[in-house]
């Protein structure tokens, strides 16, 4: 199958660079599973801006929504000028400015948090735990996105959040093994127990984290975003 007739994906990355690289890898693997992609033209066309934002964001999430939003709008416009027809943002926290990007560019953003919520609803859940960065937790971004879908969020405790933040920071530095370490696995298990199963990996640095038991049902926001992109290329 050739992917040339599908949308050109504009990726607003760099938040962080490791998550951007993981997203692209997940996208390629999803294309291989979906239609046996092997040749260059079989894969979705992507334009990737993986530059770090000079202001408005750090490892805790957005520190200045206005500054981050202005930068991301301009970068989205640049991707669109190069041919992008659909924008994706492999960063949960940055979806706080997704409405501004859509409003100021006229090009749709494939909303990662909404995609996760829709999958949870399709699977019959009404509540899910969410592991995310400090900003996403404090801002209620998942709560605001999930509420119209009839979904409630099982929040993390302050101690759990500190363990999550430490894991995120270490993954940003290349230490993905931290996701299998006892401290992070204990958080996954505890939140999964309280949520009665489903736990959203709601920071893209947490992608592909192993789960402590079959009782925890992971919803990997980055993998679900990659799959949602692939579905744009499939017949309705």
pLDDT in tens, 164-217: 999 999 999 999 999 999 999 999 999 999 999 999 999 999 999 999 999 999
Q: pLDDT for 130-154, tens place per residue?
A: 999 999 999 999 999 999 999 999 9
Name the residue ranges covered by the structural domains of the chain: 9-110+224-231, 112-220
Mean pLDDT of 1-19: 86
Task: Please indicate whether the domains covering 9-110+224-231 and 112-220 agree at the CATH topology level.
Answer: yes
| Confidence at residue 2, expressed as pLDDT on a 0 to 100 scale | 65
pLDDT value of residue 84? 98
Which tokens go with 193?
Answer: 């127990």
Contacts of 236 (CB under 8 A, 6+ apart): none
More confident residue, 78 or 57: 78
pLDDT at residue 58, as a whole number: 85
> Between 98-105 and 65-81, two packed helices, what is the crossing angle to 10 degrees?
40
Whether residue 50 contacts residue 235, with contact meaning beta carbons closer than 8 Å, is answered with: no
Closest CA to 200 of 139, 142, 157, 160: 142
Fold annotation for 9-110+224-231: Rossmann fold (3.40.50)
Is the pLDDT confidence value at 236 over 80? no
Distances from the Cα of 195 to the Cα of 78, 135, 189, angstroms: 41, 21, 10
Q: How confident is the model at residue 1 (pLDDT cuts 50, 70, 90)?
A: low
What is the fold, at CATH topology level, of the domain defined by 112-220? Rossmann fold (3.40.50)
Residue 59 has pLDDT above 90, yes or no: no
Rounded to an integer, the average pLDDT of 90-97 is 97
């Amino acid at each position: 199958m050739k992917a040339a007739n599908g949308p050109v994906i504009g990726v607003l990355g760099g938040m962080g660079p490791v998550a951007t690289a993981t997203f692209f890898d997940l996208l390629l693997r999803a294309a291989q599973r979906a239609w046996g992609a092997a040749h260059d033209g079989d894969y979705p066309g992507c334009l990737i801006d993986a530059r770090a934002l000079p202001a408005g964001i750090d490892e805790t999430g957005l520190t200045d929504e206005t500054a981050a939003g202005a930068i991301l709008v301009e970068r989205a416009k640049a991707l669109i000028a190069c041919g992008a027809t659909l924008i994706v943002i492999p960063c949960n926290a940055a979806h706080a400015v997704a409405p501004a990007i859509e409003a100021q560019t006229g090009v749709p953003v494939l909303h990662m948090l909404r995609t996760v919520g829709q999958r949870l609803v399709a699977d019959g859940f009404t509540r899910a735990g969410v592991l995310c960065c400090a900003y996403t937790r404090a801002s209620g971004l998942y709560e605001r996105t999930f509420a119209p879908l009839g979904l409630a969020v099982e929040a993390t405790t302050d101690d759990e959040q500190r363990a999550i933040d430490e894991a995120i920071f270490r993954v940003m530095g290349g230490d993905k093994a931290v996701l299998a370490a006892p401290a992070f696995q204990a958080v996954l298990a505890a939140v999964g127990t309280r949520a009665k199963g489903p736990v959203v990996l709601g920071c893209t640095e947490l992608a592909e984290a192993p789960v402590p038991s079959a009782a925890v049902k992971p919803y990997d926001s980055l993998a679900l975003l990659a799959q949602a992109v692939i579905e744009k290329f499939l017949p309705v």
